[in-house]
Amino acid sequence: MWQSCESRARRMRGGARLNFLIVLVILVTTGYVGYQTVPVFYRASLLESYMQDTVNNAAVLTKNPAWVEQQIRANGDDYDLPKDALIQTGTRDGRIEAHVEFSRSIPLIVTTYQYKFDHTVKSSSLVSGG
């Protein structure tokens, strides 16, 4: 009877080790994926806010759409904006509009994720003049 209990305990310990390793691999994988993706998504959300602020300021200060594009390109390094990003600006329905589009490769453990940023913002106020 003693031997059967001892072998049973060894199997349980081996199973616990395997479960620990599985959980550890899952945690490490999740941490790595988060480490790679969170900064990209965070900078993209900051860029969206910056774009909205820029078109709102342009509408209030009566700047032209070219000024909006210049501001976005000039501050692109702060938001990890690629140099080849497509930036389109213009006016529509009396509001200044800006559209930014680019893609970025995010390396993951077994694959590469193509993150595509495609966002358009409009000024909240109408363009007041020239």
User: The pTM is what?
Assistant: 0.80
Contact in structure between 99 and 87 (CB atoms under 8 Å)? yes
pLDDT digits (tens, 9 = 90+) for 18-31: 899 999 999 999 99
Contacts of 53 (CB under 8 A, 6+ apart): none
Contacts of 13 (CB under 8 A, 6+ apart): none
Residue 98 CB: number of other CB atoms within 10 A?
23
pLDDT digits (tens, 9 = 90+) for 19-77: 999 999 999 999 999 999 999 999 999 999 999 999 999 999 989 999 999 999 999 99
